[in-house]
Amino acid sequence: MKSGRRTVAVAALVGALGFSVLNAPAAHAADTGITVSDIVINMGKPIVVGTSKEVRPPISFNIALPPGYSTADPFRYSAHPFIYRGSPKTAAESADNYIGPGIYTCFETDSKHARCEGTFHIDPHPSRKQVNSNNDATTWKVAVVLRLWKANGGLKTEEYETRSKTVQLKRAAKVTVDATPETVTKGRKITVTGKLTRANWSTKKYGGYSGRTVSLQYRASDATSFKTVKKVTTSGTGALNTTATASADGFYRWVYHGNSTTDVATSPAAYVDVR
């Protein structure tokens, strides 16, 4: 249960911070006096994006207001953290190399301070500019746009502040598995195959991931954990193919441990009946 009164809920949906402010008269760029602290995006973990599903990683931050402004009047100020590549102002205004908050709500702790919580909104759809290139799977910087508004609703001043924090965007990965024969005599060989693919943000499809080291893991039916049997390198199409000696009833799976641009992936488990 959060303390304090809910002061504002903001939707920043599409680039340019999702607001009509970019159509407003230009404001004088000056220190707003607003302080944004304790920004946490996706609990500090990399953000993983596929080819079609929207991703909404959580975000939280604190706001402290300057003299003359109060959380009781949330329409007189705004503060919006976002992640970007290149110039923060150019990214925010063009919506290119920019990812901002989807919906968040601020709860006042007193007349000068508020705690804000919500989500980012990342949509890989081709019509969006958020992840439309595989080069977007990299380290993004964090910034905040701060604005003060006049009593008549006009924009008084704005500023862009950068942060030392970064956020890693990664391409989602998948791996399949098949073990044959499903019933085998103890001591005989079984063949375990599969395929490692990862999201291609340019084509919006999953493609084979070649030259990757993937672990083949095994768990006996009466065991509680998997153990690595061997490591195999994917072919030019991402295919996996190896053999293992059947010793007891159990399950086989592939595990890819990921890298700086691609997330981890674990296949379902394929059961082999050993007689």
d(CA 65, CA 10): 17
Tell me: do 78 and 13 sit in the same domain. Answer: yes
Under a CB-based contact definition with an 8 Å cutoff, are residues 104 and 118 in contact? yes
CA angle 200/204/209 to nearest 5° reads 25
Please state, in angstroms and rounded to a whole number, the distance separating the CA atoms of residues 85 and 146: 18
Mean pLDDT of the chain: 89
Residues 12 and 92 grouped into a single domain: yes
Give per-residue burial for 178-188: e unless 16+ CB within 10 Å, then b.
ebeeeebeeee
Residue 180 and residue 166 share a domain: no
In terms of residue numbers, what domain contains 30?
A: 6-170
Is residue 215 classed as helix, strand or coil in its secondary structure? strand
Answer yes or no: is pLDDT of 94 > 90. Answer: no
* pLDDT tens readout for residues 174-233: 999 999 999 999 999 999 999 999 999 999 999 999 999 999 999 999 999 999 999 999
Report the C-alpha gap between 93 and 36 in whole angstroms: 20
Does 1 fall in a domain? no
Confidence of residue 169 (pLDDT cuts 50, 70, 90): very high
215 and 259 fall within a common domain: yes
- In angstroms, the Cα distances linking 146 to 71, 77, 162 are 15, 8, 11
Q: Is residue 38 pLDDT above 90, yes or no?
A: yes
Residues 112 and 230 both lie in one domain: no
